[in-house]
Amino acid sequence: MTPDLLDEGARRRQAHGAAPAAGNHTESGGRTASAGRLTTPGQVDVSHGRILYLEDVSVSFDGFKAINKLSLDIAPGELRCVIGPNGAGKTTMMDIITGKTRPDEGTVFFGSTIDLLRHKEAEIAQLGIGRKFQKPTVFEQLTVFENLELALKTHKGVRASMFFRLDSAQSDRLADILVTIRLADSVNRLAGNLSHGQKQWLEIGMLLMQDPQLLLLDEPVAGMTDEETLRTAELFLTLKGKHSLMVVEHDMSFIREISEIVTVLCDGAVLAQGTLDQVQADERVIEVYLGR
């Protein structure tokens, strides 16, 4: 071995050893690689074209199978309508997605990487899933302004809340949404004093403040006037594309207004899926709705 070669080898070895120390650059650019994909914690991976993915989910309450081997998936930016007779498991499905109910079996994924069954309600909300309840649920003793402020997407820890002040970008956003939900005149009214339709809108406004990627809306137009329903339909159509929406509704004219793909649930499983006309022509669907 010549001294040249030794020198060369020493230099190479040094360069090799120094490389990782130079920066945090791994082959995947500082991110952790798994299963051949790059994942960034806290970000929803929709590279497989699905933002929500339920497979073979089952849950039973006291022997009653509320959800029975349910499989369902939603694409990013999609507006999916879910219909079904009472007791079909629509609300239970939302409970499972948002962490309120644990399924007995099955998998629920948000994007390709986030296993929703491993998170609690608050974490799931932080991950970017917003939910509107069947019965409008707002903070009745707080004003409209305070309701929206609480829903704002920001740090939600105890200390952050104690010293929280609305900055100007957040104020702008809040004002925007107040205009959108047409409650700009009621900023200082107690939410408990709003009409039923206004409460529905306030709750939708709170969802928008959260800026979720996936919105689950349980009967959003129940109790609204025709005009309010129409405006809700307009709003959902503008949200489509940017956000993914899952809308459970009984109002067929509303569904007709907004739907592209409709999923029919029955007895805790998917009965039919397709455009509204397709599912309405489906024999089994007609039987479920009209038969019995």
Partner 1 sequence: MNSPSPGPSLSLFERALQAEQGVEASNAVTVSRPSPQPSPQRVEGATRGQVVLPGKGPLLTRSGWSAFMVALIAVCAVAPVLNLWVPEGHALHMSTYAVALLGKIMCYAIVALAMDLIWGYTGILSLGHGVFFALGGYVMGMYLMRQIGADGNYKSNLPDFMVFLDWKTLPWHWTFSDSFVATLILIVAVPGLVAFVFGYFAFRSRIKGVYFSIITQAMTFAAMLLFFRNETGFGGNNGFTDFKRILNIPLATPSMRMTLFVLTGLTLLGFFLFAKWLVGSKFGRVLQAIRDAETRVMFSGYNPLGYKLTIWVISAIMCGVAGALYVPQVGIINPGEMSPANSIEIAIWAAVGGRASLIGPIIGAFIVNGAKSWLTVAYPEFWLYFLGALFVGVTLFLPDGVVGLVKKLRRKAAA
Task: Give the interface with partner 1 as residue ranges (CB under 8 A).
Answer: 98, 100, 120-123, 125-126, 128, 130-131, 133, 137-143, 145-146, 149-151, 153, 156-158, 161-166, 168-180, 182, 184-188, 206, 208, 210-211, 213, 234-235, 238-239, 241-243
Residue 68 or 154 with smaller CB distance to partner 1: 154
Question: How are the residues of the chain apportioned to helix, strand and coil, as percentages rounded to the nearest 5?
Answer: 40, 25, 35
Beta carbon nearer to partner 1, 164 or 289? 164
C-alpha closest to that of 216 among 95, 112, 116: 95
Q: What is the three-class DSSP state of 264?
A: strand
State the minimum distance, in angstroms, from the CB of residue 12 to partner 1.
Answer: 43
For residue 265, the minimal CB distance to partner 1 (Å) is: 21
CB of 39 to partner 1, least distance (A): 16
Coil vs helix vs strand at 225: coil
Least distance (Å) between residue 71 CB and partner 1: 24
Closest distance between partner 1 and the C-beta of residue 3, in Å?
58
Nearer to partner 1, 115 or 140 (CB): 140
For partner 1, give the closer residue by CB, 64 or 163.
163
Residue 152 or 276: the one with the smaller Cβ distance to partner 1 is 152
Element (H, E) at 270: strand 269-274
Q: How far is the CB of 284 from partner 1 (least distance, A)?
A: 33
Q: Which residue number, 174 or 288, has a Cβ lying nearer to partner 1?
A: 174
Rg of the chain over CA atoms, in angstroms?
A: 24
Residue listed under structure tokens 């498991």: 89
Nearest to 202 by CA among 223, 164, 242, 122: 223
Beta strands in 99-174 (DSSP E): 105-110, 114-115, 129-132
